[in-house]
Amino acid sequence: MTTLSISRKEIAAMTPQEVEKLATRLEQDNYSGAFEGLNDWHLLRAIAFQRPELVEPYIHLLDLEPYDEA
């Protein structure tokens, strides 16, 4: 198993088209192994924290919702 490693510079350089391609792979969920999908999910999550404007249309794939303590 390989470890996913992506730098802040690489995330900063990502284009909307690259994020769309990543999101499409996640939506199709057609991976040959479980860890491939997990790596894509972690990558999309990392992008969401650094460049949320790119992930906004695909936020449903991350299942991130505002936390309500009430």
Tell me what pLDDT residue 28 has: 96
3-state secondary structure 30-65: CCCCHHHHHHHHHHHHHHHHHCHHHHHHHHHHCCCC
Going residue by residue through the chain, which has 70 residues, state the pLDDT in tens, using 9 for 90 and above.
555 678 899 999 999 999 999 999 999 999 999 899 999 999 999 999 999 999 999 999 998 665 555 5
Count of domains observed in the chain: 1
Q: Which domain holds residue 42?
A: 28-63
User: Length of the chain in residues, anyone?
Assistant: 70
Q: Is residue 7 part of a domain?
A: no
Q: Is residue 68 part of a domain?
A: no
Q: Is residue 51 part of a domain?
A: yes
